[in-house]
């Protein structure tokens, strides 16, 4: 397809370059007949196709080296190259006319000299126009490719967000989690009706948040922390004193934006690895602070830790890492470390404040 486009461009440019001089000569020479017009056009076609075809073949290979030159030399060298092409092409065209018998041997050099300057001027003019057209075409193609790449990245971000949303929702309504929570609520109805009612409200809020939140966007940290506390309180009805937690986030940064369900995913991971399998339970800490690299969200626990590489494909942390890459184009990251006997999972995101 690309080769056909080049051939079409060569034919279009060469034919236009032949017709234009023929029309001009006819216009400026009064009394020109149809025969004269045809004679001008024949000569112009030979010159146009000899010079034009040669120009396309030569300049296609010279364009890149020439445009690597400094701007002050670039067009001078380009025009000199076009001038040389015009000289060689004019000689080839004159020889063809001589061979066809359209020009007599005695007229060869006068005809060549007469046509040469016209050929040089037209070649440089048309070559510059075509070069500009090709440059704009390449820039348009590059812009189109960039736009398509951006659209593809956005589509991948939406897909990753959708998968994260489904994964998050699935974990909330997983029978093990849901039945244990309902059993806890059932037990609380007689012992502590008010707490049972609050737990039902928290469970409803958590499920609603999972359903309604657009995980492809961002939410205020305040909103995310609210759902995290609801989730921890729900789990506390199951684990009782085995689950201890602290949320320590300065109020002045709670209006910064974070990916929805990001902190909650980290907390859920700590519940699984530090609390669920430990009879003595454990403590989970949720903190956030500002640093040079942006907003740092940390969830730590005193559990045995884990290796991210050992987690199954599609795990919540892997999904969160993919979302960070898609949302922040590499500016967001997820890190896991051991510090002071605790497992610390950190999410770093650019500092973005909710617009009021």
Report the 3 state secondary structure along the chain.
CHHHHHHHHHHHHHHHHHHHHHHHHHHHCCCCCHHHHHHHHHHHHHHHHHHHHHHHHHHHHHHHHHCCCCHHHHHHHHHHHHHHHHHHHHHHHHHHHHHHCCCCHHHHHHHHHHHHHHHHHHHHHHHHHHHHHHHHHHHHHHHHHHHHHHHHHHHHHHHHHHHHHHHHHHHHHCHHHHHHHHHHHHHHHHHCHHHHHHHHHHHHHHHHHHHHCCCCCCEEHHHHHHHHHHHHHHHHHHHHHHEEEEEECCHHHCCEEECCCHHHHHHHHHHHHHHCCCCCCEEEEEEEEEECCEEEEEEEECCCCCCHHHCCCCCHHHHHHHHHHHHHCCCCEEEEEEECCEEEEEEEECCCECCC
> Residues 6 or more apart from 155 whose CB is under 8 A from it?
none
Provide the number of structural domains found in the chain. 2
State pLDDT tens for residues 302-334.
988 876 666 666 567 887 888 888 788 778 889
- Count of CB atoms situated within 10 Å of the CB of 231: 22
Average pLDDT for 112-128: 75
- The edge-to-edge listing of strands for the beta sheet with 282-291 is 243-248, 282-291, 294-301, 342-349, 333-339
Say if residue 205 is in the same domain as residue 340. yes
Say if residue 214 is in the same domain as residue 342. yes
Say if residue 18 is in the same domain as residue 132. yes
What pLDDT does 221 receive?
94
Say if residue 215 is in the same domain as residue 302. yes
Say if residue 145 is in the same domain as residue 184. no
Say if residue 144 is in the same domain as residue 199. no
Average pLDDT for 6-35: 66
State pLDDT tens for residues 100-115.
877 777 777 777 777 7
pLDDT > 60? residue 170: no
Burial of 292 (0-12, 13-18, 19+ CB in 10 A): exposed
> Residues 6 or more apart from 257 whose CB is under 8 A from it?
218, 219, 220, 221, 352, 353, 354
> Residues 6 or more apart from 84 whose CB is under 8 A from it?
none
Asked if residue 290 belongs to a domain, the reply is yes
Short-list 100, 61, 109, CA closest to 81: 61
The mean-pLDDT minimum among 115-129, 133-147, 165-179 falls in 165-179
Say if residue 214 is in the same domain as residue 124. no
How many residues in total does the chain contain?
356
pLDDT tier at 31, thresholds 50, 70, 90: low
Say if residue 241 is in the same domain as residue 291. yes
Short-list 193, 229, 184, CA closest to 209: 229
The CATH number covering residue 237 comes to 3.30.565.10
Asked if residue 232 belongs to a domain, the reply is yes
Asked if residue 272 belongs to a domain, the reply is yes
Asked if residue 222 belongs to a domain, the reply is yes
What pLDDT does 178 receive?
73
Measured between alpha carbons, how far is 16 from 4 in angstroms, rounded to an integer?
18
Asked if residue 109 belongs to a domain, the reply is yes
**Dihedral, CA atoms, 297, 302, 304, 305, nearest 10 degrees?**
0
Q: What percent of the chain has pLDDT over 70?
A: 78
Measured between alpha carbons, how far is 253 from 255 in angstroms, rounded to an integer?
5
Domain of 300, in residue numbers? 174-349
Say if residue 86 is in the same domain as residue 197. no
Measured between alpha carbons, how far is 53 from 5 in angstroms, rounded to an integer?
14
pTM assigned to the model: 0.52
Question: Domain boundary residue among 82, 115, 150?
Answer: 150
What pLDDT does 173 receive?
47
CA–CA–CA angle 148, 7, 74 (5° rounding) = 70
Asked if residue 238 belongs to a domain, the reply is yes
Asked if residue 219 belongs to a domain, the reply is yes
- Structural contact between residues 323 and 215, judged by C-beta atoms closer than 8 angstroms: yes
Asked if residue 158 belongs to a domain, the reply is no
Burial of 10 (0-12, 13-18, 19+ CB in 10 A): middle
Question: What Cα–Cα distance (Å) separates residue 242 from each residue in 47, 114, 274?
Answer: 92, 101, 10
Question: Domain boundary residue among 87, 116, 150?
Answer: 150
pLDDT tier at 35, thresholds 50, 70, 90: low
Average pLDDT for 229-257: 92
Say if residue 138 is in the same domain as residue 191. no
Measured between alpha carbons, how far is 239 from 235 in angstroms, rounded to an integer?
6
Say if residue 8 is in the same domain as residue 96. yes
The mean-pLDDT minimum among 22-36, 62-76, 124-138 falls in 22-36
Say if residue 43 is in the same domain as residue 136. yes
pLDDT tier at 225, thresholds 50, 70, 90: very high
CA–CA–CA angle 289, 295, 300 (5° rounding) = 60
């Amino acid at each position: 397809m690309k080769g056909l486009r080049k051939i079409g461009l060569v034919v279009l440019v060469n034919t236009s370059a032949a017709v234009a001089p023929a029309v001009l000569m006819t216009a400026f020479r009064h009394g020109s007949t149809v025969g004269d017009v045809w004679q001008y056009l024949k000569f112009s076609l030979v010159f146009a196709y000899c010079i034009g075809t040669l120009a396309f073949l030569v300049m296609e290979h010279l364009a890149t080296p020439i445009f690597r030159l400094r701007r002050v030399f670039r067009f001078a060298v380009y025009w000199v190259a076009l001038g040389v092409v015009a000289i060689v092409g004019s000689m080839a065209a004159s020889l063809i006319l001589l061979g066809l018998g359209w020009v007599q041997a005695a007229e060869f050099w006068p005809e060549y000299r007469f046509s040469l300057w016209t050929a040089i001027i037209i070649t440089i003019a048309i070559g510059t126009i075509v070069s500009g057209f090709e440059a704009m075409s390449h820039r348009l193609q590059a812009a189109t490719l960039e736009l398509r790449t951006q659209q593809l990245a956005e589509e991948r971000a939406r897909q990753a967000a959708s998968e994260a949303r489904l994964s998050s929702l699935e974990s909330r309504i997983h029978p093990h989690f849901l039945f244990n929570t309902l059993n806890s609520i059932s037990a609380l109805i007689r012992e502590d009706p008010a707490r049972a009612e609050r737990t039902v409200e928290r469970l409803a809020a958590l499920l609603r948040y999972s359903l309604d939140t657009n995980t492809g966007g961002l939410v205020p940290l305040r909103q995310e922390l609210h759902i995290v506390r609801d989730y921890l309180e729900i789990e506390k009805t199951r684990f009782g004193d085995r689950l201890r937690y602290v949320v320590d986030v300065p109020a002045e940064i709670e209006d910064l934006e974070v990916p929805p369900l990001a902190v909650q995913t980290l907390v859920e991971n700590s519940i699984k690895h530090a609390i669920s399998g430990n009879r003595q339970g454990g403590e989970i800490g949720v903190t956030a602070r500002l640093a040079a690299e942006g907003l740092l969200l940390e969830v730590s626990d005193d559990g045995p830790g884990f290796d991210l590489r050992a987690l199954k494909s599609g795990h919540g942390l892997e999904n969160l890492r993919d979302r960070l890459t898609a949302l922040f184009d590499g500016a967001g990251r997820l890190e896991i470390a051991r510090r002071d006997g605790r497992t610390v999972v950190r999410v770093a995101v650019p500092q973005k404040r909710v617009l009021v």
